[in-house]
Amino acid sequence: MTPKQISVIGVPLDYGADRRGVDMGPSAIRYAGLHDKLRQAGHTVNDLGNIAVPVPESRQSANPQAKYLDEIVKVNRVLARTIEKLAGEGQFPLVLGGDHSIAMGTIAGLLRVWSKIGLLWFDAHGDFNTEKTSPSGNVHGMPVAVACGRDQTDLAVPFKGHYVDEAKIVYVGVRTLDPAEAEALRQSSVTVFSMHEVDRYGMREVMARAMDILTQGTDGVHLSFDIDALDPLYAPGSGTPFNGGLTDREAHLALELLAEGDVLTSMEMVEVNPILDEHNRTGRLAANLIASALGHRII
């Protein structure tokens, strides 16, 4: 992999989820030796610290269809400006969450620099709900729908009218969808490699197909990795666990293949919840997965 200038940004946001704790995710991942692993892989690492996020106890959710919408939009606007600056300077943005609603800020910032990006989404869930379809009102279940322009509420403000082409969005590891969300995905141009496809074809074939889609006619590829893509047997520190997920080796192989292809231009790791974890086991796994995606090798 080509050596990169990696800028690390923590976004300790947990407004988008039902369970508290992911605000501590950036610290847990850093504590697991992330920076040393990236430097060992030949990269330069600059940690910009965390974006300021007020604690939920100081706020009240006014919209049950999109809880804490105003707070999430404000944080994502700041994140989008940060990502725009870093990507425009040729840096590799590495974002540590926080819940998955932060992806809206990351992607919005990238689209201000590159008009066409491929979006690779590792997740147990679809995150393809809108305010109208979400059964919970939790915004961490909406970022992909917002990123491709399907939700035109205030959540779309950071995008400034620029969205991801649905044909350039690929999911890996999906295994649970809300009914309306599943129907929307079936009618979309998005490619979904659920756990059925991973089991049937194997991770090597899935990633080969994914990279073909993501790299054709795009300016860059963004990886958004929700730790619940892995089975809770391997990643217990997740607020939304669902059985039947990826093994740790399947996940590492997928990211190692991305590193070999040297296709990534940005990345985020989200939904690590230290409160639910076992001696930072999930934090260490997240750090190791990031390192694999960025070229760290055993030998």
What span, in angstroms and rounded, lies between the C-alpha atoms of 165 and 297?
Answer: 33
Query: Who's near 54: CB < 8 A, 6+ residues apart?
Result: 71
Tokens of 55: 């604690």
Query: Who's near 295: CB < 8 A, 6+ residues apart?
Result: 1, 41, 42, 43, 259
Secondary element (H or E) of residue 97: strand 92-97
What span, in angstroms and rounded, lies between the C-alpha atoms of 137 and 93?
Answer: 29
Tokens of 286: 């997240």
Ordered strands of the 92-97 beta sheet = 44-50, 5-11, 92-97, 264-270, 220-226, 117-122, 169-174, 191-194
In the three-class reduction of DSSP (H, G, I as helix; E, B as strand; rest coil), residue 46 is classed as: strand
Active site residues: 100, 123, 125, 127, 140, 226, 228, 271
∠ CA(7), CA(294), CA(1), 5° rounding? Answer: 110
